[in-house]
Amino acid sequence: MPVLRRHLHAERLTSRPSPAGKLQASLQSEAARIVWRFSDGKPGHDNQSLGLVDALQRRARIHSYDIPVQSGAGRHWLLGRFPDGVLLPDPWLIIGAGHATHLPMLAARRARGGKTAVLMRPELPRSMFDLCVIPEHDRPRPADNVLVTKGSLNRMQAVRGQQQQDRGLLMVGGPSRHYRWDHRSVVEQIAGAIRFSPVRHWVLTTSRRTPPGFAEQVRQMIFNRNLKLSVVPWRETSGQWLGAQLRRACCTWVTEDSVSMIYEALTAGLPVGLLSVPPRRNDRVVRGVRQLAAARNVMTYRDWSAGRPLPHPAQVFDEANRVAAQICRRWGSA
């Protein structure tokens, strides 16, 4: 059986409870809603499902359990059993992001009950899930069990009064199914964003998709041009590092391919600039990023370099909290 990590949202006891206090604590524990969160181990997917768990915990008494995806989910679903969760209390809600989580979620529901909320457009028929949380750029067909969001969910909250006005953040991705890559162009845009911005201290981080040698190329640029920039490759960051940087920054620049990072910065409420990378085709993801620019939620490097200041997002991005509120309205809260 895989190791399960339990996250508890509960009040901290400041003294040893009396027998009556123990009874009350027991009743409170029984009133908690149980969430099973399936994980395929991919940080981007975990960021979405953990963002929803965080938001649910802000609204209700939640006990959540992380269940890593394993093989055999199809067989478990057919047999109506889910042995990996045999020691866990029955779920109120089963959530997951990533295609590998879908069959395990259905197997768990068939064996133990609960409602399923899948955090993406599923490849399986949507009618198999109780709720499908799908970004608007996927253009989902309307349905009672479809909830459309402005981008993917994440763990960020709006930043209020924590920003340092002389600090900016640059987030760099890499080639993907939707975008190609241009080393020289990205480096030149980074240099321009730093040189012509009033912000004096910049931090740059990479991602798993960033091509080898990019961080060293940026460091060489810093040396040659005497720019004030700290480079922190993704391998040197922790799970909480990016959120902490976003809370401190007054603005951010993100390569267009890094869609999840774009939405994290928008959720934080920061002005967001887009570093251009060449798209592979005019697909749904590329169109979604362009729509953000057309709606003045983000600004392209080309528009900014023409003299327009980076704007704050024209819309509020608070999707994890909005989805959590919808779930609690649909199925009750503790």
Domain boundaries, the chain: 5-154+319-331, 167-305
Going by the DSSP 8-state scheme, the letter that residue 111 receives in this structure is H
Token pair for 25: 């604590």
Q: What integer pLDDT is reported at residue 106 of this predicted model?
A: 94
Q: How far apart are CA 148 and CA 198, in angstroms?
A: 37
For the chain, the residue count is: 334
| E-strand stretches of the chain | 5-8, 33-39, 62-68, 93-96, 115-118, 131-135, 146-149, 167-171, 201-205, 229-232, 251-255, 272-275, 299-300
Q: What integer pLDDT is reported at residue 162 of this predicted model?
A: 66
Answer yes or no: CATH 3.40.50.300 is held by domain 5-154+319-331.
no
In contact, 225 and 156? CB cutoff 8 Å? no
Answer yes or no: CATH 3.40.50.2000 is held by domain 167-305.
yes
Q: What integer pLDDT is reported at residue 333 of this predicted model?
A: 66
Enumerate residue ranges in the chain where pLDDT < 50: 1-29, 334
Q: What integer pLDDT is reported at residue 224 of this predicted model?
A: 61
What pTM was computed for the model? Answer: 0.84
Q: What integer pLDDT is reported at residue 28 of this predicted model?
A: 43
Phi, psi torsion values for 35, nearest 5 degrees: -120, 130
Q: What integer pLDDT is reported at residue 271 of this predicted model?
A: 96
In contact, 327 and 93? CB cutoff 8 Å? yes
